[in-house]
Amino acid sequence: MNLSVGIVGLPNVGKSTLFNALLKKQAADVASYPFCTIEPNVGIIEVPDERLPVLAAIAGTEKIVPAVVEFYDIAGLVKGASQGEGLGNKFLAHIREVALIIHVIRLFEDENVAHVTQKINPKDDIQIIETELMLADLATLEKQKELKGKVTKEEQSFYDTVQLLKNHLAKGLAAHSLTFSPEQKAAIAQLNLLTLKPVINVFNISEQQLEHFPETEKRINEISESVSGNAPYLSFCAKMENEIVSLSPEEQVEYLAQYHLQETGLNRLIKKAYATLNLISYLTAGVKEVRAWTVTKGTLAPQAAGVIHSDFETHFIRADVVPYEIFVKAGGWINAREQGRVQTVGRDYEMKDGDVVEFKVGV
């Protein structure tokens, strides 16, 4: 499975600058006026994983296939977007296709970059976007037809859940703040509601704010607690991240150290995205290739095998599993087996992050 992420926010908050930094190249137009992004820029980003080169050296292969994240840079939303203001519903439709929303919020001051409301007010900016997403969801719910005649149990469940959501959203409350039964979740999954999607708030700060990070962090915490409840968040100097793209890995480490940072914003963002979506990576290591495979935490071995190929789930027999650290210490499959470090597991085995796996299937 690939992780798909939509980058959203008001115009000129730094979405495209962040996108460029993530892509490690100037893949999107960046301009100091609203709506410079006309179509959603899509980028496939490799997930940094320092384990893969180590496994490749052990397996004797040069082919490394990391997990990837699909990033969608979506044009800036404005107040009234749900009714067609700015570029309107066209871009709200793009957000419906992603698994996770990254909401970029402007904290930086720059007189050369216009703010769509002419003032830097992160709390208002967050509320504008959240309100537009809720209004868009309400519009989707209003389109659902009333029940007539004889209906199935599933149709009744869908209709009842829609009514519940309409009443909830009408109070200014996002769909994710409701508690759903498994049946209700299944009933409304087809609607792809925006406010049911997990969100990470990314506060785009300046280099000066990064230099005085304790004060900046305190402000971010206060903003987050006042408007976003338990939404995960992080700070990110998109301008700086974009500038270090051309540096060597060693130079990047030295540059980041100036700001007391140990890793790039890309790494921190992907780790936060994986944690938010409850994702892990298991690994395969052979002469043909070394590869990372993304699954949800709690995935059982047959379903994990199905990520490689659907037939693998159907014809699953068993799996040989070694934790990454043990596999590396042993020096590969042969030694791990000789040392009795390989665990043979069945259908009820729950995959763990960093498991090195060989599946046995009857095909």
In words, the CATH class of domain 4-275 is alpha beta
pLDDT score recorded for residue 270: 87
For 278, phi and psi rounded to 5 degrees?
Answer: 60, 45
Where do we find the tokens 């992160």?
A: 122
User: What is the C-alpha to C-alpha distance for residues 273 and 342, in angstroms, rounded to an integer?
Assistant: 31
pLDDT in tens, 152-190: 888 898 999 999 999 999 998 889 889 899 888 888 998
13 is in an annotated binding site: yes
pLDDT in tens, 22-69: 776 544 444 444 545 446 678 888 888 999 999 999 999 999 999 988
pLDDT score recorded for residue 79: 67
16 is in an annotated binding site: yes
User: What is the C-alpha to C-alpha distance for residues 130 and 103, in angstroms, rounded to an integer?
Assistant: 10
CA angle at 6 for the pair 144 and 222, rounded to the nearest 5°? 100
Q: Under CATH, what is the fold of the domain 298-361?
A: Ubiquitin-like (UB roll) (3.10.20)
The domain spans of the chain are 4-275, 298-361
Number of alpha carbons in the 13 Å side-chain half-sphere of residue 172: 3
pLDDT score recorded for residue 88: 47
The radius of gyration of the chain from alpha carbons, rounded to an integer in Å, stands at 23
Residue pair 16/28 in contact (Cβ under 8 Å)? The answer is yes
Q: How many CB atoms lie within 10 A of CB 338?
A: 10
Residues 6 or more apart in contact with residue 223 via CB below 8 angstroms:
105, 122, 123, 126, 203
pLDDT score recorded for residue 116: 67
17 is in an annotated binding site: yes
Spell out the per-residue pLDDT of the chain, length 363, in tens.
Answer: 668 898 888 888 888 888 888 776 544 444 444 545 446 678 888 888 999 999 999 999 999 999 988 888 876 666 655 555 555 456 677 788 899 999 999 998 877 776 666 678 889 889 888 888 898 899 899 999 888 888 888 889 899 999 999 999 999 888 988 989 988 888 899 899 999 999 999 999 999 999 999 999 999 999 988 876 678 999 989 888 888 877 888 898 899 988 888 888 888 888 899 989 999 999 999 999 999 999 999 999 999 999 999 999 999 999 999 999 999 999 999 999 999 999 999 999 999 999 999 999 987
90 is in an annotated binding site: no
Tell me if domain 4-275 and domain 298-361 are identical in fold: no
